[in-house]
Amino acid sequence: MRGRMNGVLIAGGILLGALSLGGCATKKYVNEEVGRVDTQVQAQGARIDELDKTSREALERAMAAGKLAEGKFLYAVVLSDDSIKFALNKWKLTPEAETTLTSFADRLKGENKNVYVEIQGHTDSTGADSYNDMLGGERAEAVRQYLNKQGVALNRMGTISYGEAAPVAPNDTRDGRAQNRRVVLVVLS
């Protein structure tokens, strides 16, 4: 009986020792996992901060669009006549376009009205939709930057790209595509 009791005690001691050693390994594993999860949480926090910045910028653009919707249409200027058409895949302003924009800026400043200018960039249908959206935006931004250099406040202008979505001529001819590569300036009060 005593031998049996010693065997049970020895087995219990071995089992207890094994459990205590297993507990140490589990703590190490838990600490490693907590560290890994903490790193992932920090990375997600950085992504959330970036999304927050993006959403704030989107809200600002939406508020500007809301102001546009409330405003009354005064007039529009289309930059697409022969002297200021955009070349294929280009957004750089020509000297003729700059002259027209200088006159436009002088008109805005001379009227001295509290107006808002929506600058709409357009393209022909050549290329992918995503590329055309980017190109239309670059054209509108080039005009916005030039008008700002002429004294028009940045907070009174907004840009939007329609890409190839709003053609004024068929895209199946060279002349039609050239007419679609344009910028429209919409003046609202």
pLDDT tens across 79-114, in order? Answer: 555 545 677 778 888 888 888 889 888 988 887 677
Whole-structure pTM value: 0.58
Q: What's the confidence (pLDDT) of residue 83?
A: 46
Q: What are the Cα distances from residue 108, in Å, to 47, 177, 187?
A: 42, 30, 9
pLDDT tens digits for range 134-161: 999 999 999 999 999 999 888 889 999 9
Q: Which of 111, 98, 75 is nearest to 184 (CA)?
A: 75
Residue 142's pLDDT is: 92
Query: Sorting pLDDT into bands at 50, 70 and 90, what band is 38?
Result: confident
What's the pLDDT score for residue 127?
86
The predicted pLDDT at position 144 comes to: 93
Tell me, rounded to whole angstroms, the distance of Cα 146 from its chain centroid.
Answer: 21
pLDDT at residue 77, as a whole number = 61
C-alpha of 10 from chain center: 70
